Amino acid sequence: MRNADMNALTIEARKDSHDTGCRTRFWSIQRDGKEIASLAKSDEAFSKYRVLAGSIYRSGFTNRAAALSFASTL
């Protein structure tokens, strides 16, 4: 395995919750296949991501560079 693969980060939509009567999206951040963080849109870290990456968060973290930049701030 290449060294670059050893620190692979992925960010994906994990699930939606309707417990409070409104939809809340949760995100899973994984490094090397292990979850290192879980965020909801209301979390402070997610708000920080929105500031760093602008409107990219609305497209489901499809911009890898922005996602990696965000994950490195955690």
Residues with Cβ within 8 Å of 71's Cβ and at least 6 positions away in sequence, in order, are: 9, 11, 29, 31, 36, 37
19: helix, strand or coil: coil
pLDDT of residue 16: 63
Q: How high is the pLDDT of residue 44?
A: 63
Closest CA to 29 of 45, 16, 17, 44: 45
Looking at 3.40.50, 3.30.160, 1.10.357, 1.20.120, the CATH number of the domain 3-72 comes to 3.30.160
- Measured CA to CA, the distance from residue 37 to residue 72 in angstroms comes to 11
Query: Which tens digit of pLDDT belongs to each residue from 8-47?
Result: 667 676 666 666 666 666 777 777 778 777 776 666 666 5
pLDDT at residue 37 in the model: 73
Contact between 16 and 24 (Cβ < 8 Å) = yes
Domain ranges of the chain: 3-72
